[in-house]
Amino acid sequence: MERPATFALTLLPGARRLLKAHARELPQRDDLCGAFCGALALQAAELAAHAGEPLDQDAVALAAGSVVSGMREPGTLPHGEPGRRDYRLAIPSIEDSAVSGTTAAGVLRAIEQLSEGALAVVPVAGPWTADALSGLYELAESRERPVTLIANFATHHLWGSRASVSQLLDYLLDGELEGPEPDWLVGHFACVVGRVQGRRGNLYAIADTYPALGNRGVHMQPQERLAAALERRDMPAGGMLVVGFAEDAPYLREGVRGLGLREATWDNGTVTAEALR
């Protein structure tokens, strides 16, 4: 007789508020995935406005020095997404779409600036393994105040976002890593909001930036695939931004060091608005 299957589901502190904000904000505007995630981190911490302006993806983009492409290139959006260019604010633009978007350092700066120091961001540059990812998740999970994990990864190392229940169970119970083909191939930001632990594997819940991915932008990824996507060996570098309250920053930084991870920003291949001046 097959033994009963049991799973442990956890959400990061503040994840339910983040997911509500995520549903309201979808989809990201073109080139603003990092800014979209920064806005979710602010709203997860119950910060909705700054100087009378909403803390949405446009506000974060402007503070982060984001740059949008003059024209959308084919293949840069997931299948079924038409794109969105109804920017609320005037975001600087560049013709070369290969370097448009937001830097990790820019997202960090924007969150700390727009929160007026209430939030602190710990940038984690790796090295990435399944164990390192698990340790970082548990570090964030241990706080009472909201903590948001903003992942900057390469999408083609992930499973496709519409894994079947059977595929998810085969992974959780048997460690089977065969899954759907990747949806697309770009460098991208998305938020990690929860985890399901099974007998042979851990799945991470990703709050992504397009409703065509997963179930209205939420999908599950095996720990091995997510770690490889963060490592981005065949693309400009990636990593994880750990967004917490300033009071929790010393604990988070010490925990990152204890995991053998490196606290540093990384160059994801994007230019900044400042560089265009």
pLDDT at 1 over 60: no
Q: Which percentage of the chain shows pLDDT scores above 90?
A: 86
Residue type, 35: A
The alpha carbon dihedral of 245, 246, 247, 248 has a sign of positive
Q: Which residue has the higher pLDDT, 4 or 144?
A: 144
Tokens matching residue 134: 């698990």
**Residue-wise over 216-233: b if at least 16 C-beta within 10 A, else e?**
ebbbbbbbbbbbbbbbbe
Query: Cα separation of 197 and 275, whole Å?
Result: 43
CA 41 to chain centre: 10
Instruction: Give me the domains of the chain, ranges plus CATH numbers.
Output: 8-276 (3.90.70.10)
* Farthest CA pair distance, the chain: 68
Residue % of the chain over a pLDDT of 70: 97
Residue with tokens 């988070």: 252
Give the global pTM: 0.96
Nearest to 203 by CA among 240, 166, 163, 172: 172
Do the bridges between strand 93-94 and strand 68-69 make them parallel or antiparallel, or are there none, so unpaired? parallel
Structure tokens at 54: 């909403």
- Under the banding of pLDDT at 50, 70 and 90, the label for residue 23 is very high
Q: How far is the C-alpha of 104 from the C-alpha of 243, rounded, in Å?
A: 12
Q: How confident is the model at residue 99, as a pLDDT?
A: 85
**Once rounded to an integer, what is the mean pLDDT over residues 236-250?**
97
The predicted-structure confidence for 106-161, as pLDDT tens digits, reads as follows 999 999 999 999 999 999 999 999 999 999 999 999 999 999 999 999 999 999 99
